[in-house]
């Protein structure tokens, strides 16, 4: 099965970004991808690079809404699954959200980023409400999908929860900038999560120079043994394709050993 990660830059014009993303989704589907994933805030500027937002609600939209409706048509036309990420408005709350659109165009559900950070150029606590949808896993015709939005991937509890719920592929929409962390640390972290939990992990990063940040790209996919099996370029706009074999999951160390030998009855007394 082929998956696709769309690594694209964003201008200040959301309509233009959306059109570019829709074109990329069609291209990926025409090239045989069955699951297509976009980066964090894929069709809009990375708002949290700026402090003190005056009217953040005006930047967000509901789910379902204009963006999901546009991609639902593509998913239905090509019979593909599409994972988005956008700035969601739900009542008085604002979320960093990834709706998962099934191959029939219906929204299976929405993952919302749970852990919200605050540091230089990532002023996310000024924009986002902590997610309240847990760590859902979605059943699709092409496998069981989990989503870990950017900062959530740093939390082993979250990544393990997806495995316990049966995730076979975990997609990670990210906004990672050049020089944000020591070289290789992002990759090592995700490779470790894939190895410890016995699933494929596919990190889709945004790319491009914005007012306060330059996003790195370098999207990649790793297998349940923690090996990188596909990698996109640094600073390039491209669609990263990767063929994956879900049969590898049952033979992983995690499935044969680590998950089998867990002691959750003890952990509840150690972690609060």
* Tens digit of each residue's pLDDT (9 = 90 or more) over 97-143: 999 999 999 999 999 999 999 999 999 999 999 999 999 999 999 99
Output the pLDDT for position 114.
98
Output the pLDDT for position 179.
83
In this structure, what token pair is assigned to residue 77?
Answer: 């036309």
Output the pLDDT for position 117.
97
| Phi, psi values for residue 43, rounded to 5° | -115, 20
Architecture, CATH, for domain 2-267: 4-Layer Sandwich (3.60)
In this structure, what token pair is assigned to residue 86?
Answer: 């956008």
Output the pLDDT for position 185.
86
Q: Are 111 and 98 in contact (CB under 8 A)?
A: yes
pTM attached to this predicted model: 0.97
Output the pLDDT for position 186.
82
Dist CA 214 CA 235 (whole Å): 9
Q: Any bridge partners for residue 147, and if so which?
A: 171
Where does the chain show beta strands of DSSP type E? 2-7, 35-38, 81-83, 86-90, 93-101, 107-112, 137-140, 143-147, 169-174, 200-205, 207-209, 214-216, 220-222, 228-231, 238-243
Output the pLDDT for position 264.
92
pLDDT along the chain (272 residues), means of 10: 97 95 98 98 97 96 98 98 98 97 98 97 98 97 98 97 98 93 86 98 97 96 98 97 98 96 90 74
DSSP codes of every residue in 48-65: GGSSS-S-GGGG-B-SSS
């Amino acid at each position: 099965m082929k998956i696709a990660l769309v690594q694209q830059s964003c201008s200040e014009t959301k309509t233009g970004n959306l059109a570019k993303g829709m074109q990329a989704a069609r291209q990926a589907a025409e090239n045989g991808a069955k699951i297509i994933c976009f980066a964090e805030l894929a069709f809009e500027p990375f708002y949290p690079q700026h402090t003190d937002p005056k009217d953040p609600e005006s930047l967000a939209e509901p789910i379902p809404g204009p963006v999901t409706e546009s991609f639902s048509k593509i998913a239905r036309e090509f019979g593909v699954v599409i994972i988005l990420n956008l700035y969601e408005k739900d009542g008085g709350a604002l979320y960093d959200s990834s709706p998962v659109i099934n191959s029939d165009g219906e929204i299976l559900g929405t993952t919302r980023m749970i852990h919200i950070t605050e540091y230089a150029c990532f002023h996310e606590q000024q924009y986002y409400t902590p997610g309240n949808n847990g760590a859902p896993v979605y059943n699709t015709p092409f496998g069981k999908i989990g989503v870990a939005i950017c900062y959530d991937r740093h939390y082993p509890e979250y990544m393990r929860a997806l495995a316990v719920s049966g995730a076979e592929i975990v997609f990670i929409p990210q906004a990672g900038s050049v020089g944000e962390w020591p070289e290789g640390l992002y990759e090592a972290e995700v490779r470790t999560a894939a190895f410890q939990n016995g699933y494929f992990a596919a990190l889709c990063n945004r790319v491009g120079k914005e007012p306060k940040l330059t996003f790195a790209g370098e999207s990649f996919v790793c297998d349940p043994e923690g090996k990188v099996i596909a990698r996109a370029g640094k600073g390039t706009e491209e669609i990263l394709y990767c063929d994956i074999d879900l049969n590898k999951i049952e033979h992983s160390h995690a499935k044969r050993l680590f998950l089998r030998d867990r002691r959750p009855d003890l952990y509840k007394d150690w972690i609060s």
